[in-house]
Chains A and B, each alone.
Chain A
Amino acid sequence: MASTEIALPHRHLEDAPAGSGARAGWLRRHGRAAAALVLLAVALFPFLWLVHLAFKPAADLFEDRLLFVPRLDGFRALLQGSFPRSFLNSLAVSTLSTAMSLAIGVPAAYALTRWQFPGRRHVALWILVTRMAPPIAFTIPFFLAYRWLGLQDTLFGLALVYLTFNLAIVIWLMQTFFEAVPTALEEAAYIDGCGVWQAFWRITLPLAAPGVAATAVLCFIFAWNDFFYALILTRTQAVTAPVAIVNFLQYEGWEWSKIAAGGTLVMFPVVVFTVLVRKYLVQGLTAGGVKD
């Protein structure tokens, strides 16, 4: 599986001519790292700018001073209004969606991995397409259906819609992880008289547990980040955080402090999760993207 270490030989070390200046040597040895750090700073600048705006006192927002005493005014302003509730809604929907997707998708992924049946490729392609489809294709029918079913503006309704992409993600990713579990262990269990799912529960699943964790995190992130479905399918009860921020784009004046603070809060769980599970994220986001 894709590890984060490299296989390319170090030509530049072999190349360093003897007796070259210390400076040139340092540059050769650390040039890559230095360039990478500079580029990282450039790439992350927009993100860091938003976060810093969240801590700036509102009066200084349009000033150029880079040094200031950080204040939590922006965050305090967020506490009034419906933002805290929308944050909780986001947490609830993302958790619910992750749980549902895992419950339905993990067994399906296992079955797809171990079971060679005719038409398997077509099923796999269909699952791929569901992940690719643009939200607009689903929102129109879903909106009408939810009106009729009374699922409009409910957390469950949103979690159900999120299955359209999260289920495919779970099946996709877990296939890769299950493939890595040797079948010999399962066969040993079969010999001992275990059924298929007993073996799965006792042997395969514990071995693939890190994969399940990584997949869960990814599902959570995708559900958390959704904007379009939440914009259309929620009103007041089930409003999620990304949509609530749009409320701060006011007619009377953009509330930059609130926008920056809200944006920082909304991105916070996602960034934390990313940092914690980055190794698996790399695996997850590129899974299937590279032919073995």
Chain B
Amino acid sequence: MTQRRHLLQAATGIGASLLLPGLAAHAQPGGARRFQGTTLNVSTFSAAYPKLLQQWLPEFEALSGAKVNFDAPSFPVYNQRADLELSTKGSAYDVVNVTFIYSSRWIDSGWLTPLDEFIASPQHTPPDWDLNDFLSGARAPETGRDGKLYGIPWTAEALLSVSSRFDLVQQAGLAFPDTTDDLVKVLRAVNKKERVAGFVSDSHYGWTFVPYLHAFGGDVFRKAPDDLFPTLDTPEAVAAADYYANLIREFGPDGAITYQPDQVTQALKLGRVNFSDAGQLHLAQLGDAATSKTLKTVKFGFVPKGPAGRFPGTAVHGLGIPAGSRNKEAAWAFIQWALSKQTTRRAVAAGYGSPARRSDIDSPEFRSRQRINGSDLAQLSLDSISLAERTGHMKYRTVSVYPQVDQQLNKAIALIASGQANARQAMQQAQAQSIAELRRAGQKI
């Protein structure tokens, strides 16, 4: 069994270096098969990029000599396990995904390893790896208060608005909605036409609702990251919650408040729901001719603008090394291979939709694949990301106590949308509970 494995690795190594001259030229710094005998435990949540990496693992194993166990459970399961493991500074994982809502929590608690030294050292990182090629807006959430970098981003995506059956909107004589008022008008016109529900979004409302919260002039904290007093019960926040929950209640399909991201994507692909907000990680799949029935009728746009402006949500996931890992060098070898220019370019060529490297975003392969039915998904998301950088409205997420508040938002919108409470009651409850949670976490507010 081990013999066969070694043969396979050797064969793959040779094959890889023959087929991909780039890969051979970009030999592993410090010599090939440097980590013979090491076992690396990698864990991310299950998503498009990790799936591609899993397919290409044998090449890395051949190059470095290390054996890789790649674990990719679902998003909530992954977060819970990673948080638990990191909190005890355990060594069960060598490479973890730095999830966007947890990045500040993990970084500021000292649970991750700073990567600057690895990047700067020529023994560990080839000179052409080019850290600055990664979008600065994507590197910012992975940077700690001490200015050190703790994660290398593999995805930088923005929340965009999508209409899977834009033909119905056109039939009603309307255009793609630009403001929050437009959205309601359009939804009223197309809801239930041809048995297509109007609107749905994934039940992680701490992510999908916040652009609307900002659009109405509300915010999560008074002035993150310095003043962390929650502001969930201001009149603007209540109005936003009322508006958003109403979208789900009035125009949502059966069981809308339990929809997971994959269910949303599935519903959009099959044309069972018209409008939604999602990131390119999911929206890019609508361009897959094999599985998407709405390829010809889809249209993308920015998230709606409200009285206070347009504030698209952005999310960055990165790969990092836990503080307790015992194979930090091998872990870094993995990360720099997984996010090298060659690997990310390969992913883009394979259809990956939300790279974090500027060179990939600007590349013709990426731009051509992201032009779906006339909408340029790439340009939309780039514009959204730069908008977010300018206004800084994503700072609410760079606080270590955000996960708790995230949960409160999830519950509040679910309560309003299912009719258990009105907007004011639900948001006041969320406010009170958030304050309690923050105090319990030791925040002085």
Contacts and interface: CB of A to CB of B under 8 A. Distances in A.
Contact of B92 (A232, A236, A251, A253): A236
A247 to B, nearest CB: 4
Interface stretch (B72-80, B350-358, B389-397): B72-80
Contacts of A246: 73-74, 77
B431 to A, nearest CB: 28
Interface size, A (range): 10 to 19
Contacts of A147: 88, 90
Interface in A115-149: 143-144, 147
Given A82-B71, A250-B74, A254-B262, A235 B48 contact: no
Contacts of A249: 73-74, 77
A147 B89 CA distance: 9
B41 A251 contact: no
A152 B92 contact: yes
Interface in A223-272: 232, 235-236, 246-247, 249-254
Nearest to A144: B88
B85 A235 contact: yes
Interface in B239-262: 260-262
A186 interface: no
A253 B69 CA distance: 22
A251 B88 contact: no
Interface in A76-90: 82
Interface string B16-41: 00000000000000000000000001
B332 interface: no
Contacts of B93: 235-236
Contact of A252 (B48, B81, B84): B48
Q: Is the interface of B mostly helix, strand, loop or mixed?
A: mixed
Contact of B262 (A143, A152, A252): A252
Interface string B398-413: 0000000000000000
A164 B385 CA distance: 52
Interface in A57-92: 82
A251 B81 contact: no
Given A235-B85, A246-B73, A253 B90 contact: no
B136 interface: no
Contacts of A251: 45-47, 74-75, 260-262
Of A232, A251, A252, A254, most B-chain CB atoms within 10 Å = A251
Given A153-B92, A247-B77, A252 B46 contact: yes
B265 interface: yes
A235 B82 CA distance: 9
A232 B75 CA distance: 16
A153 B71 CA distance: 14
B47 A236 contact: no
B428 interface: no
A63 to B, nearest CB: 14
Given A153-B92, A232-B84, A236-B71, A253 B265 contact: yes
B75 to A, nearest CB: 4
A254 B262 CA distance: 8
Nearest to B78: A251
Interface string B80-106: 010011001010110000000000000
Nearest to B48: A252
Nearest to A232: B84
Nearest to B41: A236
A213 B387 CA distance: 69
Given A251-B47, A251-B261, A152 B74 contact: no
A235 B92 contact: yes
Interface string A270-286: 00000000000000000
Nearest to A80: B54
Contacts of B74: 246-247, 249-251
A250 B73 CA distance: 6
Contacts of B90: 147, 152, 235
A250 B46 contact: yes
Interface string B34-74: 00000001010111100100000000000000000101111
Contacts of B72: 247
A82 B72 CA distance: 10
B425 interface: no
B266 interface: yes
B261 A236 contact: no
B81 A235 contact: yes
A250 B50 CA distance: 13
A147 B71 CA distance: 21
A228 to B, nearest CB: 13
Given A152-B90, A236-B71, A246-B73, A253 B84 contact: no
Given A144-B88, A236-B71, A251-B46, 10 more contacts: A143-B88, A232-B84, A236-B92, A247-B71, A249-B77, A250-B74, A251-B74, A251-B262, A252-B48, A253-B262
26 contacts: A82-B69, A144-B88, A147-B90, A152-B90, A232-B84, A235-B90, A235-B92, A235-B93, A236-B41, A246-B74, A247-B46, A247-B73, A249-B77, A250-B74, A251-B46, A251-B260, A251-B261, A251-B262, A252-B46, A252-B47, A252-B51, A252-B261, A252-B262, A253-B265, A253-B266, A254-B262
Q: Which 5 A-B residue pairings sit nearest by Cβ, starting from the closest?
A: A235-B92, A253-B262, A251-B75, A247-B73, A250-B46
Interface of A: 82, 143-144, 147, 152-153, 232, 235-236, 246-247, 249-254
